[in-house]
Chain A
């Protein structure tokens, strides 16, 4: 994404992608893979002047609600696909994040971007991530060859599970052209328990107790007092801002959600009395958590860099507390403490040294999800890996794209040259 003339290849089928990649190999010109461009601001800045635009590769190939699968082309708008499956009371159970509020971009993006980024929402603790819902894919490798991975059934162990690699690979291994995804029934009903005024460590313990219970908790998040502001969409109705709030979600058939909410509230009584929010209100809360609305680009912390930290869940409270105290930043916890969104006061390195040292000590990893291009040039956006693992990962990448044609340098600093 440097200045100057940008050449765009519009794609209509997998054959076009093969041709474009072969052309890129021949001319040694790396390609940036884009759908709607909703997540172009994530990753190391790339130095390519050629775009491979998949937005016209956007058909729904097959949707079979009774088989719990949908096959769509990679450029299909996520919003359209979500409303299609919603019309059959189904959903992507991993709750894909809509990054538009966080990044200040207008669009929710495409299916291909959803899988390539692999960013799962609150229900990941129960339903898994994007990688757990990608059953099959057609993709074009950096060899310029279209290949198939996986299948179109939920249970399949035939050959290596290449789908797992494609999910979350940020377009650096292959250009997905068509994907088959698992869809799941949307729960009939949901309830959210609210606990107020807990500090991060105590909230972490409450969430740990909830997730260790048999009540099938499908969301466990915590907003510390400083992160809970009055103007956050979806959270305005749940009580006075400026007071820490811990959120626990229960979903299922109504009788069950009600029963489990009551049982969980009883279990968590030592942490305080819980309020309950139901259905529409509950859904709004979790959209807000999922999309990290407290750190929205248009909000009070919009100019701060944002880290996405994944760590052992029970270590989250201490890690988040140390990070916010050490930097003067704000954090939001999801996944029972296993996911921390950290907005930190701006520094040229987005406080990478502090973040990485503390995250490493906790056994986690951190991705700089929002920062200026200049800052992203200065730091490793994705968590640096130990030597052996990094070398193995590079060999794997090389096995898909030996000429480094696809999204060159997006995941690894220094790989751009």
Chain B
């Protein structure tokens, strides 16, 4: 573990027994967990290389309890780490030794399904997939589909602004959430937005989404639901060169076609996936595209033929078009199992998550290949090619001394390449602890200070999820100072009329 977390507050740790007792008074029974053995499942999230037992785990069951827990922690100066299902790949829910881990696992009820307004009002612990399942009988679904959708919670999705394969066409979480109830660290309960398309005033829903648990604890979410497309079909297209696959992606978008999903895998990823799920992937290609078109049958048929022509024009070496749901799902099976498939061929792997401009895909891949040779570590690449979101999987063995550090350095270099190519550090997994120290690669101190001033508006003491997202935390009083440079009119060149 190479990342430094905020120093533990010894005074808080010394009061642990009192804190546990106070939390028990708020959340009775099994809602407070303080035995080392029972806290083990909470030591880490989806970023399993990082582990830290919390001081205590509390699992409130009502908004009122969340409010009381937070108010107590605020008054006592105790840090709080919120947690949904704990599937974050960036360490967003990594506990703190002197912090309360606040789990939302008991918030498991869908509160309202409103088909007329096309929304679902739900508690945050409900899984992403459960929302779609709850409305499936009427032909609806919730569009964002992170690959962990069977387990990840909607509250966590909002906190991380989760994406998924279909966000190319249907948007990320932020484009599909209309409102929430959020509890501030002071215990104050705030409702933002609702069933309307827009919130009043500033778009606080927009900044709460993707705030990684640093602004408040979400206790209710209102999401938009959509009618399922009439049909979906997929093409599976192989290319002898990555460049040709990248060109194909650019031409499809350039032709005005926005597929429901457009995924790319490179040779190592194809081979790992094929060995795992036997999806019938071609093994003699350098890049494989899975392109899904959805909508009315007549539209899908037309677009499939247009995409087919584009792919052939780009020199595809293999091309299959799904003729049944079974076949379409088989195309996807390998891609969806890519992470575990890679897990089979390597003791450990790191999953990166940068985004680049689509047109830079071949260049990014070439640079990643070069880094792979330099670090002496294998890499398998899967991409959300349609929106330029890369998931290089770096293969390593944590039992070999120094190899994890090497893998992390490799990963950091990949993200630097992404930024250098005009992209960003994270497309959908979040900054968390994983990319925290890389933030200055993308943002200046002034940029980061402005983001932290937003944090100050929600949590001036910095008690909510400290150690995540920002490499250094400034005191809010310091950030709030206005420095006027050079007196009254130090800008004589400015034209005035």
Q: Which of B195, B442, B457, B495 contacts A10 (CB 8 A)?
A: B495
Q: Is B17 part of the contact surface with A, judged by Cβ < 8 Å?
A: no
**Is there a chain B Cβ closer than 8 Å to A239's Cβ?**
no
Give, as a whole number of angstroms, the nearest-CB distance from A12 to chain B.
8
Q: Cβ of B254: which chain A residues have Cβ within 8 Å of it?
A: 65-66
User: How long is the Cα–Cα vector from A22 to B488 in the complex, in angstroms?
Assistant: 9
Q: Which of A164-172, A229-237, A325-333 contacts B (4 or more CB under 8 A)?
A: A164-172
Task: Determine if B201 and A393 form an interchain contact, defined as CB atoms under 8 angstroms apart.
Answer: yes
Assess whether A67 is interfacial by the CB under 8 Å rule: yes
Q: Do the beta carbons of B454 and A396 come within 8 Å of each other?
A: yes
User: Are B200's CB and A365's CB within 8 A?
Assistant: yes
The answer to whether A155 and B295 touch across the interface, beta carbons within 8 angstroms, is no
Q: Which of A96-104, A275-283, A305-313 touches B?
A: A305-313
| In contact, B118 and A212 (Cβ under 8 angstroms) | yes
Chain A contacts of B388 at CB under 8 A?
Answer: 153-155
Closest residue of chain A to B138 (Cβ to Cβ) is A212
A314 pairs with B116, CB closer than 8 A: yes
**Distance in Å from the Cβ of A15 to the closest Cβ of chain B?**
9
Which of B3-11, B262-270, B324-332, B354-362 is the contact stretch? Answer: B354-362
The reply on A64 being an interface residue by CB < 8 A is yes
A48 to B485, CA, bound (A): 22
Identify which of B194, B428, B448 contacts A363 (C-beta below 8 A). B194
Measured CA separation A153–B355 after assembly (Å): 7
Chain B contacts for A145, CB-based, 8 A = 446, 449-450
Interface residue ranges of A193-217 to B (CB < 8 Å): 208, 211-216
Q: A153-B387, A363-B196, A392-B458 are in contact. Are A26 and B484 (CB under 8 A)?
A: yes
Q: Mark B179-206, 1 if CB is under 8 A from A, else 0.
A: 0000010001111101111111111111
Q: A66-B359, A158-B425, A400-B453 in contact; A393/B118 too (CB < 8 A)?
A: no
Interface residue A112 (Cβ < 8 Å from any Cβ of B) = no
Residues of A close to B206: CB separation below 8 A: 131, 161, 163-165, 167
* A20-B494, A67-B357, A388-B188 given; A212·B115 CB < 8 A: yes
A165–B450 contact, CB under 8 A?
no
**Cβ-defined contact, A158 with B424, below 8 A:** yes
What is the CA–CA distance of A384 and B45 in the complex, to the nearest angstrom? 40
The answer to the question of B256 belonging to the interface, with a C-beta cut-off of 8 Å to chain A, is yes
| Contact status A148-B196, CB under 8 Å | no
Q: Is the CB of B191 within 8 A of A400?
A: no
B205, B258, B299, B356 interface centre (most CB from chain A within 10 Å): B299
Asked if A155 and B497 make an inter-chain contact with CB atoms under 8 angstroms apart, the answer reads: no
Partner of B203, one of A8, A168, A186: A168
Q: How far is the CB of A138 from chain B (nearest CB, A)?
A: 10
Q: Report Cα–Cα, A162/B198, bound state, in Å.
A: 17
- Chain A, 313-353, contact with B by CB distance < 8 Å: what is the 0/1 string? 11100000000000000000001001100000000000000
A382 to B198, CA, bound (A): 13
Per the 8 Å Cβ criterion, residues 333-372 of B in contact with A are 355-359
Q: Is B52 an interface residue (CB 8 A)?
A: no
A165 touches B359 (CB 8 A): no
Please give, as numbers and ranges, the residues of chain A lying within 8 Å of B425 by CB-CB distance: 158
Alpha-carbon separation in the docked complex, A175 to B23 (Å): 45
Shortest C-beta distance, B304 to chain A (Å), equals 12
Which residue of B is nearest A20, CB measured? B494
Residues of A within 8 Å of B62, CB to CB, are none
The answer on a CB contact under 8 Å between B427 and A382 is no
B451 at interface (Cβ–Cβ under 8 A)?
yes
Q: Is B84 an interface residue (CB 8 A)?
A: no
Q: Is A87 an interface residue (CB 8 A)?
A: no
Q: Which of B133-165 contact A (CB under 8 A)?
A: 139, 160-161, 163
Q: Please give, as numbers and ranges, the residues of chain B lying within 8 Å of A157 by CB-CB distance.
A: 160-161, 163, 172, 210, 426-431
Whole-angstrom CA separation of A386 from B205 in the bound complex = 15
- Report B-chain residues with C-beta under 8 Å of the C-beta of A186: 256
B7 CB to nearest chain A CB (Å): 24
Using Cβ atoms and an 8 Å threshold, which residues of chain B touch A252? 295, 299
**A388 and B190 contact, CB distance less than 8 A:** yes
Q: Which residues of A contact B253 (CB under 8 A)?
A: 66-68
Indicate whether A395 sits within 8 Å of B457 (C-beta atoms), given known contacts A147-B447, A156-B426, A156-B427.
Answer: yes
Q: Residue A253 at the B interface, CB < 8 A?
A: yes
Closest chain A residue, CB of each to CB of B205: A164
- Minimum C-beta distance from B208 to chain A (A): 9
Asked if A383 lies at the interface with its beta carbon under 8 angstroms from chain B, I say yes
In B198-242, the 8 Å CB interface with A consists of 198-207, 209-211, 227-230
0/1 string, A173-188, CB within 8 A of B gives 1: 1000000000011101
Taking the nearest CB of chain A, how far is it from the CB of B391, in angstroms? 12
- State whether A161 touches B209 (Cβ < 8 A): yes
Judged by a CB distance under 8 angstroms, whether B456 is at the interface is yes
Which residues of B, 456-497, contact A by the 8 Å Cβ criterion? 456-458, 469, 480, 482-491, 494-497
* A153–B424 touching, CB < 8 Å: yes
Q: Are B116 and A208 in contact, CB atoms less than 8 angstroms apart?
A: yes
Chain A nearest CB from B76 CB (Å) reads 22
CB distance from B423 to the nearest CB of A (A): 5
Contact A158 B202 (CB under 8 A): no
- Cα distance, A25 to B483, chains bound together (Å): 9
Known: A160-B210, A161-B161. 7 other contacts (CB 8 A): A132-B175, A151-B423, A153-B422, A154-B355, A157-B163, A312-B195, A385-B200
What is the interface of chain A, defined by CB distance below 8 A to chain B?
A: 7-10, 16, 19-20, 22-23, 25-27, 64-69, 89-90, 124-125, 128-129, 131-132, 141-149, 151-165, 167-169, 173, 184-186, 188, 208, 211-216, 252-253, 255-256, 259-260, 263, 310-315, 335, 338-339, 363-365, 382-383, 385-386, 388-390, 392-393, 395-400, 402-403, 411
Task: Pull 27 A–B residue pairs with CB atoms less than 8 Å apart, ordered by A.
Answer: A23-B490, A26-B487, A64-B359, A66-B358, A67-B359, A132-B175, A142-B482, A147-B450, A148-B443, A153-B422, A154-B168, A157-B161, A158-B431, A158-B435, A159-B443, A160-B210, A165-B207, A168-B203, A208-B116, A214-B139, A214-B296, A255-B298, A310-B198, A338-B197, A383-B201, A396-B454, A399-B480
